[in-house]
């Protein structure tokens, strides 16, 4: 793969044009554009292992052909740390039957702050020989190692990495658990956080956040408002978010494990939820809502819920569903800010953001 800057510029402009065209019916302003490093931008990677010539090799498969492996020695779009660890790990399993026996998949998770974790997946139970070899390797590589076999997980070190991101002149620390969603492009994520921080601005009222994940946006946005009610359905992400709020001494956030659809029912007083026990929803003075939904976008009822708020700050990983949601809201809200974040260079995927304000 070549990393030609002119080819990248052409692809970037194609993405901007696509977003511009999708939002043109809504009189959106010209999008701010946040580019990506051309390589070494991806902080996580997952490889199957493929046996050939008596050894295991890192392998990936194309979307068109799931049977023919592409054997890999290095992965230039991945972080420098992943590329450093790949040959070191391969040498370790080549030298150790305890590490290599029935090993079929490897996952790397790294951070801009320099932390790293390797997950090793096996078609066998893990024994004391594996634990001894993996512990020695974790020390040598200065990483945490997770061993996974059917229904079992062994943790050597931590089952998370720690990221540090600067937003609005403050450094936030994020615990990112193994297996949970994290933004893959840390450099662009930091740009995205700063854009959202600036777009929300300093406010004296409250913020509702849907789909909060591990608190990626929650931490900096909480410093812009009086208090936050945040929701997330994944238990792993909720636990990480609670840890991150505590670690960063952010004390004005109440986090509830509800889906966006369930919170909509609660706010509409359709039915009560035990998970909201002790939380007075009527005590909030919501002026803004922040949403970062999955690729399908917001369902119609959640979209209608956001219409109640003067400001809707929306981060999207799918510009088509973003445009569909904006169309539903266009009669009451208009796009006042717009941005394109090149989270996934060399692919057609992108992240985008809009600030909608009440007409």
Closest CA to 347 of 47, 28, 86, 63: 63
Q: Is the dihedral angle over the CA atoms 340, 345, 346, 347 positive or is it negative?
A: negative
Cα of 275 vs its chain's centroid, Å: 25
Is 183 annotated among the ligand-binding residues?
yes
Q: Report how far residue 291's alpha carbon sits from residue 303's, in angstroms, rounded to the nearest whole number.
A: 10
Q: Report how far residue 35's alpha carbon sits from residue 100's, in angstroms, rounded to the nearest whole number.
A: 39
Return the SS3 of 307: coil
Cα of 20 vs its chain's centroid, Å: 24
- Catalytic-labelled residue, pool 212, 303, 317, 338: 317
**The two structure tokens encoding residue 276:** 């909201």
Is 232 annotated among the ligand-binding residues?
yes
Is 262 annotated among the ligand-binding residues?
no
* Cβ contact 287:205 at 8 Å: yes
* 338 given a catalytic annotation: no
Q: Is the dihedral angle over the CA atoms 7, 11, 14, 16 positive or is it negative?
A: negative
* 317 given a catalytic annotation: yes
Q: How far is CA 20 from CA 105, 142, 359, in A?
A: 40, 45, 21
Return the SS3 of 283: helix
Is 299 annotated among the ligand-binding residues?
no
Q: Report how far residue 161's alpha carbon sits from residue 155's, in angstroms, rounded to the nearest whole number.
A: 13
Helix or strand run (H / E) with residue 341: strand 333-341
Q: Report how far residue 114's alpha carbon sits from residue 82's, in angstroms, rounded to the nearest whole number.
A: 10
Residues catalogued as catalytic: 317, 351
Residues comprising the binding site for S-adenosyl-L-methionine?
183, 211, 216, 232, 292
Residues comprising the binding site?
183, 211, 216, 232, 292
């Amino acid at each position: 793969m070549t990393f030609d800057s002119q080819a990248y510029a052409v692809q970037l402009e194609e993405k901007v044009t696509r977003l511009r065209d999708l939002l043109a019916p809504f009189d959106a302003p010209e999008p701010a554009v946040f580019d990506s490093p051309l390589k070494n931008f991806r902080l996580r990677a997952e490889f199957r292992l493929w046996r050939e010539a008596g050894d295991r090799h890192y392998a990936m498969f194309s979307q068109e052909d799931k049977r023919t492996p592409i054997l890999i020695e290095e992965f230039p779009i991945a972080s420098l740390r992943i590329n450093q660890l790949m040959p070191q790990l391969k040498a370790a399993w080549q030298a150790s039957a305890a590490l290599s026996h029935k090993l079929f998949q490897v996952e790397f998770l790294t951070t801009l702050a320099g932390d790293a974790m390797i997950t090793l997946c096996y078609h066998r139970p893990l024994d004391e020989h594996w634990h001894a070899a993996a512990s020695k390797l974790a020390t040598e590589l200065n990483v945490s190692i997770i061993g996974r076999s059917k229904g079992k997980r062994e943790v050597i070190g931590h089952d998370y990495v720690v990221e540090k991101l600067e937003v609005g002149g403050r450094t936030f620390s994020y615990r990112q658990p193994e297996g949970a969603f994290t933004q893959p492009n840390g450099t662009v994520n930091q740009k995205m956080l700063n854009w959202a921080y600036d777009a929300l601005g300093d406010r004296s009222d409250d913020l509702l956040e849907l789909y909060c994940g591990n608190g990626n946006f929650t931490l900096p946005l909480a410093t812009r408002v009086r208090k936050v009610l945040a929701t997330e359905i994944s238990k792993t992400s909720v636990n990480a978010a609670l840890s991150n709020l505590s670690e960063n001494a952010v004390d004005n956030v109440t986090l509830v494990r509800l889906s966006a659809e369930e919170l909509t029912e609660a706010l509409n007083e359709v039915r009560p939820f035990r998970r909201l026990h002790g939380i007075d929803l009527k005590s909030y003075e919501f002026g803004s809502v922040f949403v970062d939904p999955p690729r399908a976008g917001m369902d119609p009822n959640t979209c209608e819920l956001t219409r109640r708020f003067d400001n809707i700050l929306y981060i999207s990983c799918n510009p088509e569903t973003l445009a569909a949601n904006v169309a539903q809201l266009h009669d009451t809200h208009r796009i006042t800010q717009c941005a394109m974040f090149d989270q996934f260079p060399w692919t057609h995927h992108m992240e985008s953001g809009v600030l909608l304000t009440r007409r």
